[in-house]
Amino acid sequence: MASRAPSVEKPFRPFSGYVMLVVELLMLLGAIALFIVAEEVGRPRSVSYGSWERGNVALMAICVIAGIALSLATFVSLPGFFVTQPNVARVLVLFGNYRGTVRDAGFWWTNPFTSKTKLSLRAHNLNGERLKVNDLAGNPIEIAAVVVWQVRDTAQAQFDVEKVEHYVQVQSESALRHLASLHPYDDGQVADVKTSLRGSAQDVARELQIELSERLGRAGVEVLEARLSHLAYAPEIAGAMLQRQQASAIIAARKKIVEGAVGMVEEALQMLTDRKMVELDGERRAAMVSNLLVVLCGHGGPQPVINTGTLYA
């Protein structure tokens, strides 16, 4: 079954509401004047009935009918007035047919039988709820996003989806779940995957905005910005993952300390050799390296040892 072509917005230029308001007042005054004339013509006179009297009765009937018609036309046309505020559009539908969209702010008038639906063109903030999903590594995480969007095509937003606000909310949650399943929470958890939800925030936000633009394009919605507003491990594994992060941090810190200590020992041995302060054979060099590494890498302060013999005893 072929899919229906998307709706396309078309502009509509209504009549000026101020001009039509003057016309309405003139019509109302004309109706009142006709009723007054009918009353004057229909007043009884002290003459016999004749052709002149019958002519007055006919004129009175015409004035009354015309006055009633003008009055009905005046009241029927009143619903045709409407006001369009800045950044608020009016989608006009007449007997099931799309007439167009009024984007210009002002006081307008159109066919009174036309339905005039308001549609905001302002930027909307969608503060999504926290979702519990699994990342690429299978870890349960909590994630939420903030999406800034606005209506681009009023015809699509009004006719191609049921409720544009609800549609944006559902599609944003779906896109966020799909995005979380494509990335691990942290770096190094999955091989051959360089981006992560926590370490690549800009890349993840860009991917989310692109996917939302594709999903919401059919509703005539433009995504201005999309970013993660909350990211954390699920409570049931938060403690274990915290210990893992602490262990990784400790290992990285110890590695940095060892690298620095090795460099300092190498520099010390090179200075002793260059200045020829002491001749060290292999065993003495090994003992010095061991002592220096213990001093530099140990957590506590070094304890001095007094050697009462030689280096070999």
The per-residue pLDDT for range 259-296, each reduced to its tens digit, is 776 777 777 777 767 666 666 666 666 666 666 666 65
Burial class (CB in 10 A: 0-12, 13-18, 19+), 254: exposed
- Which residues of the chain register pLDDT less than 70? 1-4, 42-55, 188-191, 236-250, 252-253, 261, 272, 274-313
Q: Which of 117, 146, 176 is the last residue of a domain?
A: 117
pLDDT number for residue 58? 77
Q: Which of 179, 204, 233 is the last residue of a domain?
A: 233
Q: Are residues 178 and 251 in the same domain?
A: no
pLDDT number for residue 40? 76
pLDDT number for residue 278? 62
The DSSP letter of residue 186 is S
Q: Are residues 75 and 164 in the same domain?
A: no
Q: Are residues 265 and 221 in the same domain?
A: no
Q: Which residues contact 139 (CB under 8 A, 6 or more apart)?
A: 184, 185, 189, 233, 234, 237, 241
The per-residue pLDDT for range 193-235, each reduced to its tens digit, is 778 888 888 999 999 999 999 999 989 999 999 999 888 877 7
Q: Tell how far CA 149 is from the center of its chain.
A: 4
In a domain, 9, yes or no: no
Number of domains in the chain: 3
CATH of the domain at 141: 3.30.479.30
The parent domain of residue 74 ranges over: 15-96+103-117
Q: Are residues 191 and 129 in the same domain?
A: yes
pLDDT number for residue 240? 60
Q: Are residues 206 and 292 in the same domain?
A: no
Amino acid letter, residue 251: I
In a domain, 36, yes or no: yes
In a domain, 25, yes or no: yes
In a domain, 303, yes or no: no
Q: Which helix (H) or strand (E) holds 153?
A: none
In a domain, 2, yes or no: no
Cβ atoms of 87 and 41 closer than 8 Å: no
In a domain, 4, yes or no: no
pLDDT number for residue 82? 92
